[in-house]
Amino acid sequence: MNLTLKIWRQKNANDKGKMVDYKISDVSPDMSFLEMLDVLNTELIEKGDEPVAFDHDCREGICGMCSLYINGEAHGPDRGVTTCQLHMRKFKDGDTIYIEPFRSTAFPVVKDLVVDRSSFDRIQHAGGFISVNTSGNTQDANAIPINKHDADTSFDAATCIGCGACVASCKNSSAMLFVSAKVSQFALLPQGKVEATDRVMNMVKQMDEEGFGNCTNTGACEVECPKGISLENIARMNREYLKAGIK
């Protein structure tokens, strides 16, 4: 396959940045999107040019590091996958592919396609945990009966990898899907109930302080989420928040 890539290049956080065109040839349809970028970078380095900076780590869809807004969609046109799991067979010979960083005021660009998603970490620190006494007589979690539906729903919420595709896809740059997944994961389990009130209040407060926008329920996040996190989590978080607000 021969492709034209239009890639966002930006030297550093203060640089204005612009789209730059690259031609790439002999791309195998079996390559992953990131492997295709590796090939491009090897060519750039051989020519003495600056390679394109992009985030990645596990390359198997579990770490949430890879990002990229490809042809107007987070993680590209495929569904239920991260960019490292996106294959070049989803594109056609001769295609022009736009590659941009995830855009949000709360995700500032560090360089080229790399963005700083530490706002997510700060939201997690604000309440995305449970406090367990490790004195030695902690109760075995498996000894607490939990009904199957709640356990499954909680586990589904816990599959969120914190990639930020929800924010990148949302017309409002809202982080509600991410935060609601983290809130729901605990809210559904007995271990999480103890700190439920503080958790939802503090995480939402941190979310607002980071400058994410307001959810208007467009549902774009759910469609683009590589882990299929459901919008129901947002409705659940709204409920948790109302409950906490009344307390």
Q: Does 216 help bind ligand HEM (rule: CB under 6 A)?
A: yes
Where b means 16+ CB within 10 Å and e means fewer, 172-199 reads ebbbbbbbbbbbbbbbbbeebeeebbeb
> What residues make contact with ligand SF4 under the rule CB under 6 A?
160-166, 177-178, 181, 225-227, 229
How close are the terminal C-alpha atoms of the chain, in Å?
A: 60
- Choose one: 50-58, 102-110, 126-134, 139-147; the region binding another protein (CB under 8 A): 102-110
- Dihedral in degrees, nearest 10, Cα atoms 165, 13, 7, 83: -30
Place of tokens 């239009």: 6
Considering the complex, state which of residue 139 and residue 217 has its C-beta at the smaller distance from ligand HEM: 217
Q: Does 82 help bind another protein (rule: CB under 8 A)?
A: no
User: Which of another protein, ligand FES, ligand SF4, none binds 166 (CB below 5-8 Å, type-dependent)?
Assistant: ligand SF4
The dihedrals phi and psi of 224, each to the nearest 5 degrees, come to -90, -15
User: Which of another protein, ligand SF4, ligand FES, none binds 104 (CB below 5-8 Å, type-dependent)?
Assistant: another protein
CB 221, CB 104: distance < 8 Å:
no
Min CB(95)–ligand SF4 separation in Å? 25
Place of tokens 């021969």: 2
d(CA 79, CA 227): 9
What residues have CB less than 8 Å from 120, skipping those under 6 apart?
A: 162, 164, 175, 178
The DSSP bridge partners found for residue 23 are 4
Query: 53-112: which residues touch ligand FES (CB under 6 A)?
Result: 56-59, 61-66, 82-84
d(CA 50, CA 115): 18
Place of tokens 């959810």: 215
Considering the complex, state which of residue 35 and residue 222 has its C-beta at the smaller distance from ligand FES: 35
**Identity at 114, one-letter amino acid code:** V
User: Which of ligand SF4, ligand FES, ligand HEM, none binds 217 (CB below 5-8 Å, type-dependent)?
Assistant: ligand HEM
The DSSP bridge partners found for residue 115 are 109
Q: Does 2 help bind ligand HEM (rule: CB under 6 A)?
A: no
Among 1, 6, 122, 197, binds another protein (CB under 8 A): 6
Considering the complex, state which of residue 40 and residue 236 has its C-beta at the smaller distance from ligand SF4: 236
Binding site for ligand FES (CB under 6 A): 56-59, 61-66, 82-84
Binding site for another protein (CB under 8 A): 6, 8, 19, 69, 71-73, 77, 98, 100, 103-106, 109, 169, 171-174, 176, 204-205, 207-208, 211-220, 223-224, 231-232, 234-239, 241-242, 245
